[in-house]
A and B are shown apart, each in its own frame.
Chain A
């Protein structure tokens, strides 16, 4: 790549490397709890990238909700079910190399499409006129009010569903 390594670019590469290492570790680890820890690393790296892009509210919500609640749920379930190390079967060993090829092809396709799209989409200068939180809240409660209410109903349905599913049978 051309140009000198400015500070933001350096931070980007560090965080991106962390995210990719976390994702690869998710695949390579044998025990699900280690995969969960790797996924948490990926999420924190992504939160750092959101901060780098100036999306501070999204970064905070990512850590609080994704990293602090959803992943805790995953870790709880892994502990509860006493999940052990994974076993390798012949079927999964067969799926390895073709899967790798297909995925590499997918990623290469996306990258090539972007590279072919002429001039790279440069990041817009940071307007700073509307701070992230205020702007997002104005949009949610003005333009996206209906999706917002629908997602709250969705959460209610999910809570009820999870409660019903987790009950032991009464026989």
Chain B
């Protein structure tokens, strides 16, 4: 195995990538909470946060400051090692899983180095298995938190939550096997490329995505992913009406924030995984020959930026009247840059489509939170074992049949 880093420069580039990605992920987490609160509020016919900063955009900052300054008591009788280890483990594992996700096919050429988007090396042959390994270890954060808290509700919540995570992990891994059979590799970049232009179909857009042949697998994956991240409708272990707050009851400000960030980060990871496996990752839904669609990023950004500027002029507070037009101008300028410089535009296509699809997934997650009631625990476990796992296995069997039949009777 060629060893870790070929040159010293690669080491520094990787460290820089890690730092930048960490910053981006934490910021996206913070604004994901804002997004969730706003969307759920609008579903419930109210406004959500709108006082702290224009449109409530500074709310995550206020929450962060609150977490920083709130008292952080440690209950009596806790098992010290496990109590302090659990949130650390949950957060570290959730953030590590982001390192495996590739964000774009082409590298940035800076200072004579090829900087690929994504921290994991290009030839990580066990790409998705590594992701599942990290998810499998994530159960420990929950179970240790529940047990170490020396209290009834966290113990019950921890046991239920970890049993739920282990059960739905099976369905999650099985549902993805169909995609792996079709792509023939564990490597995430290969899986995306297998949904793109192929020798027999040089110009397919959305038709080549895995969602069409693997619709069963996609539904299994999505439901299992929602259960795995403990989100509604599978959030019984941490619901307020049921178990006080489940496994993180006894955790106060900063440690609770770590669990919180871990949950939202795993939500983001699973959304990225869903887009990579089933929705073509960074591939455009339009065939490559429709070159006008390359201007879609600008077509989206410029009107959005102009709308922000106009909205800012009419905003109530002074801060809003200054900040919103500034942000709107930046976004409009970005859109114009993409029109003016074609090679920047070519580079930005892949990350743009990737991020839009991930955003769509996250919106569906938040939409489900605002709309659906939650499962009872026995219904949840029965659903995972008796419905989801058999359906995933049927999907694997069907996919194997079709692939074997194609091999047997020649490609169509």
Stretch of B42-50, B125-133, B246-254, B325-333 with 4 or more beta carbons under 8 angstroms from chain A: B125-133
A75 touches B126 (CB 8 A): no
- Main SS class of interface, A: helix
* B162 in contact with A72 (CB, 8 Å): yes
Q: Could you give, for residues 115-152 of chain A, a 1 whenever the CB lies within 8 Å of some chain B CB and a 0 otherwise?
A: 00000000000100001110000000000000000000
Q: Which of B106-144 contact A (CB under 8 A)?
A: 125-126, 129-130, 132-133, 135-137, 139-140, 143-144
Chain A residues with Cβ under 8 A from B147's Cβ? 33, 75, 79
Interface footprint category on B: 20 to 34
Selected from A54, A69, A133, the residue in CB contact (under 8 A) with B186 is A133
Interface string of A59-73 (1 = CB under 8 A from B): 111011001110010
Q: Is the interface of B mostly helix, strand, loop or mixed?
A: helix
Query: Given the complex, which residues of A lie within 8 Å of B163, measured CB to CB?
Result: 76
Chain A residues whose CB sits within 8 angstroms of the CB of B268 once the complex forms: none
A64 touches B159 (CB 8 A): no
B166 and A69 contact, CB distance less than 8 A: yes
Closest residue of chain A to B131 (Cβ to Cβ) is A60
- Residue B341 at the chain A interface, CB threshold 8 Å: no
Complex-state Cα separation, A56 to B186, whole angstroms:
11
Chain B residues whose C-beta falls within 8 Å of the C-beta of A67 in the assembled complex: 133, 136-137
From B1, B79, B143, A54 is in contact (CB under 8 Å) with B1
How many Å lie between the Cα of A40 and that of B147 in the bound state? 17
Q: Is B133 in contact with A131, judged by CB distance below 8 angstroms?
A: no
A56 touches B143 (CB 8 A): no
* Bound Cα distance from A69 to B138, whole angstroms: 11
Interface check B82, CB cutoff 8 A:
yes
User: Is A8 interfacial (CB 8 A cutoff)?
Assistant: yes
Interface range for A:
20 to 34
Tell me which residues across on chain B come within 8 A of A37, comparing CB atoms: 81-82, 85
B372 adjacent to chain A (CB < 8 Å): no
B3 adjacent to chain A (CB < 8 Å): yes
Cβ–Cβ < 8 Å partners of A57 in chain B: 126, 129
Kindly identify which residue among B1, B82, B125, B162 contacts A76, using a CB–CB cutoff of 8 Å: B162
B126 touches A60 (CB 8 A): yes
1/0 per residue B186-213: CB within 8 Å of A?
1000000000000000000000000000
Of A60, A63, A79, the contact of B143 (CB 8 Å cutoff): A79
Q: Separation in Å of the B392 CB from the closest CB of chain A?
A: 16
Roughly how many angstroms separate A61 CA and B143 CA in the complex, as a whole number? 21
Q: A8-B3, A60-B130, A64-B133 are in contact. Are A33 and B166 (CB under 8 A)?
A: no
What is the CB-to-nearest-CB distance from A37 to chain B, in angstroms, rounded to a whole number?
7
The answer to whether the Cβ of B4 comes within 8 Å of any Cβ in the partner chain is yes
B81 contacts A34, C-beta separation under 8 Å: yes
Q: Is A133's CB under 8 angstroms from B125's CB? A: yes
The interface bits of chain B over 310-353 (1 if a CB of A lies within 8 angstroms of the residue's CB, else 0) are: 00000000000000000000000000000000000000000000
User: Smallest CB-CB separation from A34: which chain B residue?
Assistant: B81
Complex Cα–Cα for A8 and B82 (A):
32
Pick the residue among B133, B135, B143 that contacts A72 (CB under 8 A). B143
Enumerate chain A residues within 8 angstroms of B130, measured Cβ to Cβ. Answer: 60
The reply to whether A76 and B159 contact each other, CB–CB distance below 8 Å, is yes
Partner of A56, one of B79, B82, B125, B162: B125
**9 closest Cβ contacts across the A-B interface?**
A68-B136, A60-B129, A63-B133, A56-B126, A64-B136, A60-B126, A54-B1, A64-B133, A79-B147
Chain B interface residues (CB < 8 Å from chain A): 1, 3-4, 79, 81-82, 85, 125-126, 129-130, 132-133, 135-137, 139-140, 143-144, 147, 155, 159, 162-163, 166, 169, 173, 186
